[in-house]
Amino acid sequence: MIIQQDDRLVFTYDGEKLVIEPWGPNAFRVRATKLAELPAEDWALLPRSGGTSEISISEDSASIVNGKIRAEIDKLGAITFSNQKGEVLLKEFVRSRKGLYEPSLQGKVLISALEVEAREFKPILGGDYSLTMRFESDPEEKIYGMGQYQQPFLNLKGCELELAHRNSQASVPFMLSSLGYGFLWNNPAVGRVTFGKNVTTWHAVSTKVLDYWICAGDTPSEIVESYAKATGTVPMMPDYGLGFWQSKLRYQTQDELLEVAREYKRRGLPLSVIVVDFFHWPMQGEWKFDPEYWPDPEGMVKELKEMGVEPMVSIWPTVDHRSENFGEMEEKGYLLRTDRGHRIAMDFHGNTIHFDPTNPEAREYVWNKVKQNYYDYGIRIFWLDVAEPEYTYYDFDLYRYHLGPGVQVGNIYPAVYAKTFYDGMRAEGQEQVVNLVRCAWAGSQRYGALVWSGDIHSSFESLRHQLAAGLNMGIAGISWWTTDIGGFHGGNPDDPEFQELFIRWFQWGTFCPVMRLHGDREPHSEPLGTSGGGVCNSGAANEVWSYGDEAYGICVKYLEMRERIRPYVKELMKEAHEKGTPLMRPLFYDFPQDQGAWDVEDEYMFGPDLLVAPVLYAGVEKRKVYLPSGASWQDAWTGKEYQGGQTVEVETPIDRIPLFLRDGAQLPIRG
């Protein structure tokens, strides 16, 4: 049965209830369940605003139109989405004989003995469902977004992706299709999606509801901006976020960190943020400085701010069983629970379990500790590490949250972890909130999440993976994104091969939303002690002067360049805040009519005026660059002019990353 309820279409059949309703301009939210009532959670979506519906119901089918998108549902529940031109955008995959008994429906459902349902709710013994959602697949479709995966593919067609978080993997399940639609899988359950040649299949291991959001648009930018209206945008980036961030694993003492900041100032080098990394605390779950190694945090913060440098402090969500807060947090239900075995999720320097940010009281508890021991000293940026959350073993079915089983709600963790700090900082009157987070889910951006790509390998292969990850994160709504320049794992600053990788990565980092140096360099130093903040060792030096004279000169060149283009970056940040526009985006975002732009995966636009073509392989002296049609291009280094729609070959000496200015844009690349 299909009926109209207010401005919604409601379909019921054999215990299933499905609702299609407008959710913003040119968009629908679709939900279905076999429970008595639809669950109330909006998950990644903001409360509905905007959108209208025109509904028509006939004997055999019904349709609902909202601006540029139309949904048609037949009597047996099969849905087809199309745009204002009548072109099919997305259609459910149904292979059933039921249509044989409904002659008027032939052509709506492909008659088949396979008996494959589009929406398959498979009951789980004891409660809820395993859910599979199937759509027809266009083999020529290109798919982008979905967050961050450690692979080189920008176009995700043909890929299978785990809908789960891991260290360096962030599942942000929004996809942009070259066919002209955007699709959000609005479900925080652990699962999987396959963008097959024949079928697109979404799967949730355990859930109560099918929930997705779909919009139509004439351009990629229109689609991404619609998604941003539905899920939120980043705050305005504070000015100190636009410059250079210095970090390493790990400054072991207050004196060591201060001396690095002083050296930057002595050398006249720009420095905006410096980082106090992990194990500055007495124990995990004691959110405060270890006084043995950080005796005067208030004085440290004061000196840094007098130098014009903002301190950022690492926070882990892990709580050691021996820590001063464990007993109270366990008693009050502020920790993750395990369905079997001992309550241990991570065993790095102690047996630990994560606090549970799906519990509002737990969020308030942790923020109050952080406020007392960091924020009240003047610290205004936090590094929210281990945010997936990271487990020693990724047994997702083991953990249980305040909101439900980990397999059913676990992907929400990084978003509510970021919300913990965002809400606390806003309550203190801070308007421009930015916190570095090692993971994200859909909607994380509205909580000031600056996501970095995790503990990645130091190699050119990894560098190539990060480019694809960053571009897809931007499409998925995560406008603020960065990497560890040079990669995280490995790399000796005295090794010429690593110096080359570092230089190429540093050049690229200049044209990322945030320019941040970090890494675990070789060889390691020894721990300073046997307890508290002294138990963890440190990597080798990781400052710009640590890589030899040639690398240092090149780093200085790009540090100064980043300073010169800060006004441009600030304008890009404003667009991200107001419209959800990604700072770095694939060429097709700005040139959707150029079919060649859709095929390029190793270049990108940094804002509307600058094309960036990173050097992604060792020993490269030249590289080819595609210049999109519909614009003229100037080589930012040589001044040579080119017309778009062609591929050119340019020199790539070690101190140069290929850059092209669009249509006479004036950016101070060379000073």
State residue 180's pLDDT score: 98
CB atoms < 10 A from the CB of 623, how many?
19
pLDDT digits (tens, 9 = 90+) for 269-315: 999 999 999 999 999 999 999 999 999 999 999 999 999 999 999 99
pLDDT of amino acid 76:
87
Judge whether residue 330 has pLDDT over 70: yes
**β-pair partners for 350:** none
> Over 90: is that where the pLDDT of 671 sits?
no
pLDDT band for position 79 (cuts 50, 70, 90): very high
What percent of the chain has a predicted confidence (pLDDT) above 70? Answer: 98
- pLDDT of residue 336 exceeding 70: yes
Residue 99's pLDDT band, with cuts at 50, 70 and 90, is low
Which of 122-131, 168-177, 506-515 has the weakest average pLDDT? 122-131
Contact 455, 489 (CB under 8 A): yes
For residues 554 and 669, give the distance between their C-alpha atoms in angstroms, rounded to a whole number.
Answer: 14
110 pLDDT band, cuts 50/70/90, is low
Which whole number is the average pLDDT over 177-194? 98
**Rounded to an integer, what distance in angstroms lies between the CA atom of residue 357 and that of residue 355?**
6
Q: How far apart are CA 192 and CA 202, in angstroms?
A: 6
pLDDT at 97 over 70: no
User: What pLDDT digit, counting tens, does each position of 569-600 carry?
Assistant: 999 999 999 999 999 999 999 999 999 999 99
Q: How far is 369 from 319, CA to CA, in rounded Å?
A: 13
Residue range 107-115: average pLDDT?
68
Whole-angstrom Cα distance, residue 20 to residue 94? 18
Q: Is the predicted pLDDT of residue 105 greater than 60, yes or no?
A: no
Find the catalytic residue in 117, 211, 222, 385: 385
Query: Do 480 and 445 form a contact (C-beta atoms < 8 A)?
Result: yes
Which residue of the set 455, 500, 543, 602 is catalytic?
455
Non-local CB neighbours of 536 within 8 Å, separated by 6+ positions: 250, 278, 279, 349, 527
In this prediction, residue 482 has a pLDDT band, given cuts at 50, 70 and 90, of very high
Indicate if the pLDDT at residue 44 is higher than 80: yes
Residue 455 a catalytic site member: yes
Q: Quick check: bond before 250 cis, omega within 30?
A: yes
Residue range 22-30: mean pLDDT, rounded: 98
Q: Backbone phi, then psi, for 334, in 5-degree steps?
A: -95, 5
Give the pLDDT of residue 113: 86
For the chain, which domains are there? 2-231 (2.60.40.1760), 242-315+378-390+416-579 (3.20.20.80), 586-662 (2.60.40.1180)
Q: What is the pLDDT of residue 101?
A: 44
pLDDT at residue 248 is higher than 60: yes
602 classed as catalytic? no
Q: What mean pLDDT do residues 19-28 have? A: 98
For residue 516, pLDDT over 80 is answered with: yes
Q: Which two tokens stand for residue 587?
A: 């060429």
Catalytic position from the list 211, 388, 500, 602: 388
- The mean pLDDT of the chain is 96
Residue 96 confidence (pLDDT): 80
In which band, very low, low, confident or very high, does the pLDDT at 126 lie, cut at 50, 70 and 90? confident
pLDDT attached to residue 104:
42
